[in-house]
Structure 1
């Protein structure tokens, strides 16, 4: 994995995201259901080959695209969702193009961390 991709793994976006005066941001139903679906995919998909990692990335990407398409959020909640979502989009793109199981495994772990942090900042 090259240096640019190593930066993607670190989840520095956490330094930029904010809570809503100490509370979680409200999200729309499509976002919440999409994140739950991504969490399920990460738990249930067996990733033992590079093809399996690419398949997982494709599935996660489809869910992410649905979240984006159905997003009707506005204001600070929407802005903070983007702080969470943009690094995830980058990670999924890199996972889709990863060449080794070792790199893909690191990316999957970082994606899981990213997706699971959703519950720290957002609620439905």
Structure 2
């Protein structure tokens, strides 16, 4: 087997993994349309970034939670995305889905009170973030 056949096999494998990830992202977004309101999520982006930064800096949270939050900040700041942001709507939807998944993970590990303690925005914004995080009610923790 020559080197170009190996390279072609690796590239085909990476393309397959990418396609599977996109399929899973699409399936998640279709299954949970109420948890990924893209337009509202973009309005909340500055508050969500501050929330993630505050949560990542909270020494009382488990280390694994803080690591996930730092990785989320790196992902959001990175120009490399699962779906390029140049694609209308879909390009930004992947960011909203990734944020929702990480916030759900944080709520499971740290509790909903962590969101409330560190939320820098309005109560309406907190209600939306609680929905993104998979909390059924928008009330206090």
TM-score, structure 2 length as denominator? 0.39
Considering Cα pairs closer than 8 Å and 6+ residues apart, tell me whether 1 or 2 has the greater RCO. Answer: 1
Larger-Rg structure: 2
Q: TM-score, normalised by structure 1?
A: 0.43
